[in-house]
Structure 1
Amino acid sequence: MKVKKRTFFFIFLFIAIIGLLSFRIINVLNERQQEEVQKSQIKKEIIIPVRTVLVEKGEVNSFLKVTGVVEANETVRVTSEIMGQAKEVKVQDGEEVNKGDILIVLGDEQIKIQVAQAQATLDSIQASYDKIKSGARPQEIKQAESAVLQAKINRDSAEENYLRMKKLFTEKVISKQQYEQAKNQYEIADAQHQSAQESYELVIEGAAEEDVKSVEAQVRQTRAALDMA
Structure 2
Amino acid sequence: MSRWPEVFQTGLKDNKKRKKWIYAGVGLLVILGLISSVAFQAVDVDTYTVQRTDVVATVWETGKVVSDSTEDIYSEIQGRVKAVYVDTGDSVEKGKLLAVIDVGELDTQIARLEGELKSVEGQEQTALSQVDSNQIKQQELAVEQARVALGLAKANYERIKELYAQGAATRVELDQSEADLATRQKAVSQAEAALASLKKQNKSSQLQYEGQRESLQAELRHLQGQKAKSRVTADRDGIVFTRKVKEGDIVSPGSLLFTVGSREKTKIEVYVNNKDMMRVNTGDEVKVIFRVPGEDVEVKGVIDRIAPAAEEIISSLGIPEDKIKVTVNLKEKPAGIRVIPGATVDVVVTTQKATDVPAVPKEALFSDKGEDYVWVNRQGKAAIVKVQTGVEGDDLVEIKSGLKEGDRVLLNPHLPELKEGIRIK
> What TM-score comes out, normalization by structure 1 length?
0.40
> What TM-score comes out, normalization by structure 2 length?
0.24
Q: Which protein shows a greater Rg?
A: 1
The higher-RCO structure (CA 8 Å, 6+ apart) is: 2
**Higher share of residues assigned strand:** 2
